[in-house]
Chains A and B, each alone.
Chain A
Amino acid sequence: MIRFSIEDESMTTQLAQDQHYAAPSLPESPSIPTREEALRNIVADSRRAPQTYLDEVVVPYGGE
């Protein structure tokens, strides 16, 4: 017999706290770049082997 109740909120809460499941990840780097730094990084990265990146993003068929 299935013992399950829709009102049983405690089950969800308890399981949500279960250590078996990984905690949400935290940012690794404490340093936060400024908007200008982020823009410089993006522009510089976009010029690094762009064709290789494009070749890596190919979906061999169209989805929905």
Chain B
Amino acid sequence: MANSVQPLRRLAGLETEYAIRMPASAASPRSHYELYESLIPALRQRIPLADAALDKMGHFLANGGAIWFEMVRLTGEYGLIEGSTPECRGPRQLLAYQRAQDRLFSEAAAGSQSGPFTLLKNCRDSIGNYYGAQENYEFPIASGLRLACWRIGLALLAPLIPLTWMGLLARVLIYIALLLVYIVVSHLAFLLVIPFVRDRATIRRWLIDGILTSQGSPIEGWMETGLNFLALAICTPLALSMYLLLRLTAFVDVRKELTAFLVSRSVIAGAGTLDDGGHFQIAEKASGLNCLTGLGGFIDDRPVYTFGHFLKAALSEVWNLHRRYLRLFRRRQRLQIGLGDSNMAQTAEFLRIGTTMLLLDMLEDGALCDAPRLRNPLMALHTIAADPSLKAAVEMCDGSRCTALELQRWYLAAARRWLAEKPWHEEAHEVIELWEQTLDQLEHDREQAVGRIDWVTKLYLLSQAGTDASAAARKKIDLKYHQLGPDGYYAQLEAAGACALLATAAEIDRASRVPPSGSPASARGRFIREFAGESMAVNWDFVLLRRRFRTEVIDLDHYFRQQPREEAAPK
């Protein structure tokens, strides 16, 4: 039964991982973490910041967004800078906040105290490591019997959480004990071998300095690997149980009806890349995805639909655990999509968000229930990504074969029919018109999409480089296209007026300073502006104001729900 959903009103946000490029000619090379730390004061000169109250290094911005240092190794030396936009409504608003974030981070990197460095907004580095973008959309996790099963399952899983936490605490104690044993044994060994060796310095470096001073790390690689493996083993019962519950109950209709759309969406939103063999792929991340659903990195899984944030709600922020876990019982949750590239072209970014939001609106409205089904979505994803001619057909469940453009046109026609029954909505119609225009350009006059669609623009640049360009020069085009700042190749094209711009300078300026209205980010941003000079910490749901003898926890949801209806309306 139709729910009468209005278009483009749901909350949505983007997460973007930026690669760090430190010029090799830099006088004193710094680690990525040092560069991140030097970026924060430069960012603070542009906008008030507050510490993040999360188990992750980061800060929240007064416009409601956030900046993080993403790392895996405990050494903290290398990693990525990640940005999260505030929760927005509508693709135009989200586009403006994403562009504001790109600009704020880029300018702060250029003005960093450690010497200027640059950021790349892409999804693969020069040796093929994957990272990049995640999309988040507010959507009902389930309804009816599935929702009941989800909630019952959550209640049954609750006892596993304290057990997991106790295991993780024991792991820390094991780590401390191992470290002490290692220090004692290494010193004893050093003393014992002193009489028998001449090169004492080497032995000392090998046994003792390695653990105490190696690259500023308090932990040896083998010990870190062991501890990570132990953590994985401790978390596995909870992670596996939660994953099975999610697999059975979470976003089942989305996975059924939207997968063919997302798989074929690369033709409008792919960023393009040269693969390891020098062949052009229309999407950067597509070749790296290895499953449809997963926890996103728990066991090297790279899923299309990421469930990792549900597990994090049970395994992070112990001070806030009860509140975060209780929120998982709500019907509306965060749908996270890992299949999507970081876009430089504004048209591509606008369409990536806008088309997906529209189809989610249709699905929630009960108007999308007979979408095409792919026989093998991952194989189809890889086939489509590897075919810049857009002629490759992929196999459907009914035995027929469709090209990516045909799949996109099926969804476009369905969205147009649905929208025709709704009151006029300017932004939704803008999405539809631009979507159709782009598919026409891709099919009939691809050069028209240069400056609008990333992979087409990048392929055009590669063709301009000529056939005599070396493999390294071609790869440099692939990467430097994404460099933020005036020297980046996309930025140079944009400065020359060769790119279609949808977000106005005024919209981006505003998004660099104030949070979006009608969003939990509104209250978050305003609290940061008011209390940034005081002792405070912030996360996505709460603001913590530290007083002399107590910490006041302010629930942002409370302010969000109190907002008048007119303020909650999309702009």
Binding site for B on A (CB under 8 A): 2, 4, 6, 8, 11-12, 15-16, 21-22, 24-25, 27, 32-35, 37-39, 41-43, 45-47, 50-64
The answer to whether A42 touches B477, judged by C-beta atoms less than 8 angstroms apart, is yes
A2 and B554 contact, Cβ closer than 8 Å, known pairs A42-B489, A61-B78, A63-B70: yes
Distance of A61 Cα from B69 Cα, bound (Å): 13
Contact assessment for B296 and A56 in the assembled complex, using a CB-CB cutoff below 8 Å: no
Which residues of chain B are near A15, meaning CB under 8 Å? 48, 62, 529
Cβ of A2 and Cβ of B129 under 8 Å apart?
A: no
One of B487, B509, B559 near A6 (C-beta < 8 A): B559
> What residues of chain A lie closer than 8 Å to B527, measured between beta carbons?
4
Q: How far is the CB of B130 from chain A (nearest CB, A)?
A: 5
Given contacts A33-B495, A43-B464, is CB(A59)–CB(B526) below 8 Å?
no
Min C-beta distance of A61 to chain B, whole Å:
5
Chain B interface, number of residues (Cβ within 8 angstroms): 79
| Complex contacts, B487 vs chain A, CB 8 Å | 45
**A64 B296 Cβ-Cβ under 8 A:** yes
Residue from A8, A32, A42, A54 within 8 A of B526 (CB atoms): A8
Binary CB contact string for chain B from 72 to 112 against chain A (1 if under 8 A, 0 otherwise): 11000011101000000000000000000001000100000
Q: How far is A7 from B554 in the complex, measured between Cα atoms in Å?
A: 17
Nearest to A38 among chain B residues (CB) is: B496
Query: Distance (Å) between the CB of B197 and the closest chain A CB?
Result: 34
Given contacts A32-B496, A61-B72, contact A46 B529 (CB under 8 A): no
Between A and B, 8 residue pairs with Cβ closer than 8 Å are A22-B45, A27-B495, A46-B469, A46-B473, A50-B470, A57-B479, A62-B131, A64-B15
B480 CB contacts on chain A under 8 angstroms: 45-46, 53
A32→B486 CA distance, assembly (Å): 12
Q: A6-B559, A6-B562, A63-B131 are in contact. Are A12 and B526 (CB under 8 A)?
A: yes
Q: Report how far A34 CA is from B563 CA in the complex, Å.
A: 48
Within 8 A of A (CB), among B283-307: 288, 296-297, 306
Residue pair A59, B129 in contact (C-beta under 8 Å)? yes
Q: How many interface contacts (CB-CB < 8 Å) are there between A and B?
A: 156
Residues in B with CB closer than 8 Å to A59 are: 19-20, 78-80, 125, 129, 131
B495 touches A32 (CB 8 A): yes
Most interface-central of A22, A24, A25, A64 (chain B CB within 10 A):
A64
B166 within 8 A of A: no
B529: chain A residues at CB < 8 Å are 11-12, 15
Given contacts A64-B15, A64-B17, 6 further A-B contacts (CB under 8 A): A24-B512, A39-B461, A43-B464, A46-B469, A58-B129, A63-B82
B134 in the interface (beta carbon within 8 A):
yes
Q: A39 and B80: CB pair below 8 A?
A: no
Name which of A45, A60, A62 has the most chain B CB atoms within 10 A of its CB.
A62
Distance between Cα atoms of A57 and B22 in the complex (Å): 8
Closest to A42 in B: B489
Most chain B beta-carbon neighbours within 10 Å: one of A39, A46, A50, A51: A46
The answer to whether the Cβ of B379 comes within 8 Å of any Cβ in the partner chain is no
Any A CB within 8 A of the CB of B552:
yes
Query: Which residues of B from 471 to 513 have beta carbons under 8 Å from A?
Result: 472-477, 479-480, 487, 489, 492-493, 495-498, 505, 508-509, 512-513
Would A35 and B21 count as touching, CB distance under 8 A? no
Distance in Å: Cβ of A10 to nearest Cβ of chain B? 11
Q: Decide yes or no whether B126 CB sits under 8 A from chain A.
A: yes
A33–B492 contact, CB under 8 A? yes
Q: Are the CB atoms of B496 and A37 closer together than 8 Å?
A: yes
Give chain A residues whose Cβ lies under 8 Å from the Cβ of B545: 2
Q: Which 8 A-B pairs have the closest CB atoms?
A: A63-B131, A38-B496, A50-B472, A54-B126, A50-B476, A60-B78, A63-B17, A62-B129
Give the residue name and chain of the A residue nearest to B461 (CB): A42
Closest to B133 in A: A64
* B100 CB, min distance to chain A CBs, angstroms: 9
- Cα A62 to Cα B82 in complex, Å, equals 13
Within B105-142, the residues touching A (CB, 8 Å) are 107, 120, 125-127, 129-132, 134
Task: Assess whether A38 is in contact with B472, with CB atoms less than 8 Å apart.
Answer: no
Bound: A54/B483 CA distance, A: 12
